[in-house]
Structure 1
Amino acid sequence: MAGRHVGSVEPDHEHVVLLDESGKVIGTALKAEVHTTDTPLHLAFSCYVVGSDGRVLLTQRAPAKRTWPGVWTNACCGHPGLDEDLVGAVLRRLTHELGIRGEVEVTPLLPDFRYRAVMDNGIVENEICPVFLAHVPAGVTVTPDPSEVADHRWVTPAEFRALIAAGDVPVSPWAVLQMQRLPDDDWSSAADSPTPTGAPPPTS
């Protein structure tokens, strides 16, 4: 899953890949229509961006987002297309959401992560969601798309953990669960030895 790529163009009509409980691909659905009060299990990913100084990029989801608008979370999330390489999908979203271009090294953090969460209005997220770490060079320029990201900041992993514990600002449920499995500072060990959760890897 590791590699160096340049992000590709965001498709006009994004689809998500539907999965059965074993992680097998069973079809696709339009992203714009898939999140309801009965969201089917589907394939997604989360990505944390880390700079050369060890700080990670947090983003605040735009207020127009259908799921968890306005909450703080990891750098970006997204849905790979059918037969799309996961690393390629990560880089596509890094470019689309954050304007991050150029050489980016992507490595897996939590390849077996899976979660289900329900908003106050009943809208459900239900995903097999591998988590990646994107290493960016010093001086990287972040230019968020305002339709995706309302704000952003760089913090240490320990500072993000403290932000979650304080409860002063809302944080996405997936980021809370992910941070419970990641070490305070050095995430390289998490990438080398992921803790199993029992979530099956997606299969064709």
Structure 2
Amino acid sequence: MNACERVVVLDSNNQPIGTAVKSEVHTTDTPYHLAFSCYVLSDKGDVLLTRRALSKATWPGVWTNSFCGHPGPGEEIPAAIRRRAQQELGLEGLYGIEEVLPTYSYRAVDSSGIVEHEFCPVYIARIDATSTPQPATTEVDSFGWATPAELAAAVDATGFAFSPWMVDQLRHRRLREALGCLR
């Protein structure tokens, strides 16, 4: 990650009002800012899950959706999704990027006191069977694939083992439908 990477700070109407240095924005008083979450589906329809690196400042070692990120100033979210897929997971060739929860936002506080406070549209994307994640160890400890039914059952039964944003996102019927959890 570039030390000068910036995130887009938003007002309460989700309109840009400035930028902040990404490495400095997440504190105990994090400003509301733009992000995204992405769920990657294989050709078979399985969902890629990642376990956050143990060195992460927030939610280390927690299982979560495929990846998240922050679009830079002026960067379209689909371009940011492709960039983060490559940076975080070594994945090229995402296709079928689809916005599923366009107005999703959340606020969560990690046990360290650091706050996530994001307007965070949720996307799904697809990857072909020849692509194998090669995660950056600073971002991802491990990864695995789950059927949509397995993911839904695990989150419903043991939500504490997953990131709070993923648990909350999966409460939305639209996301479960898009992932194939409700078939």
Q: Which residue of 2 aligns with 1:26?
A: 17
| Cα distance per residue 1:21-65 (max 9 Å; x no partner) | 011111111111111111110000000000110100000000111
Q: 1:90 and 2:96 equivalent?
A: no
Q: Which residue of 2 aligns with 1:81?
A: 72
Alignment of 1:103-114 (within 5 A): 103-114=94-105
Question: What amino acid sits opposite 1:30 in the alignment?
Answer: V
For structure 2, the 5+ residue unaligned runs are: none
Q: Which residue of 2 aligns with 1:139?
A: 130
Question: What amino acid sits opposite 1:140 in the alignment?
Answer: S
Contact 2:51/2:142 (<8 A) preserved: yes
Q: Which residue of 2 aligns with 1:200?
A: none
TM-score of the superposition, structure 1-length normalised? 0.83
| Cα distance per residue 1:175-202 (max 9 Å; x no partner) | 0011111468641799xxxxxxxxxxxx
Contact 1:72/1:169 (<8 A) preserved: no
Residue among 30, 42, 53 paired with 1:51:
42
Q: Which residue of 2 aligns with 1:120?
A: 111
Contact 1:46/1:74 (<8 A) preserved: yes
Q: Which residue of 2 aligns with 1:102?
A: 93
- Hey, what's the Cα distance between the residues in 1 that align with 2:172 and 2:14? 21
Q: Secondary structure at the match of 1:58?
A: strand
Question: What amino acid sits opposite 2:23 in the alignment?
Answer: A
Residue among 159, 162, 171 paired with 2:162:
171
Cα root mean square deviation, aligned: 2.0
Distance change >3 Å, CA 103–CA 162, structure 1 → 2: closer
Question: What amino acid sits opposite 2:8 in the alignment?
Answer: V
Contact 2:101/2:175 (<8 A) preserved: no
TM-score of the superposition, structure 2-length normalised? 0.92
Q: Secondary structure at the match of 1:140?
A: coil
Question: What amino acid sits opposite 1:39 in the alignment?
Answer: T
Q: Secondary structure at the match of 1:16?
A: strand
Q: Secondary structure at the match of 1:52?
A: coil
- Hey, what's the Cα distance between the residues in 1 that align with 2:24 and 2:159? 32
Aligned length: 181
State the identity %.
48
Q: 1:155 and 2:137 equivalent?
A: no
Q: Which residue of 1 aligns with 2:4?
A: 13
Distance change >3 Å, CA 66–CA 133, structure 1 → 2: same
Q: Secondary structure at the match of 2:96?
A: strand
**Structure 1 outlier segments of 4+, above 6 Å:** none
Distance change >3 Å, CA 36–CA 56, structure 1 → 2: same
